Structure 1
Amino acid sequence: MSAHEDYGPKELDLEVPSAARAYDYLLGGSHNFKIDRDFANQVREHSPWTPNVTRLNRSFLGRVVRFCLDQGITQFLDLGSGIPTVGNVHEVAQQRVPDARVVYVDYEPVAYQHASAMLADNPNATIIQADIRDPEFILNHPETRELLDFSRPLGLLIVGVLLFIGPEDQPAELVRAYRERLAPGSYLAISHITGEHASPELQAQLAATVAAYREANEQLVIRDHAEISSWFAGMELVEPGVTFLPDWRPDTPDEAQDLARPLGYGGVARQP
Structure 2
Amino acid sequence: MATRLVQINMKARDDSALGGFWAAALGWGISSEAPGVTNLEPEGFAYPDPAAVCIDVVVSTEPKAGKNRVHVDLATTSAAHRTELETRLRDLGATPADVGQGDVGWTVMADPEGNEFCVLDPRPLYQDTGPIAAVVVDCVDPRAMARFWGAATDWTVHEVTDHDAVLRSAKGVGPYLRFVRSPEAKTGWNRVHLDVRPYPGDDPETETARLVTLGATVVDLGAAVVPWTVLADPEGNEFCLLTPG
With normalisation by structure 2, the TM-score equals 0.33
TM-score, with length taken from structure 1: 0.31
Higher strand proportion, which one? 2
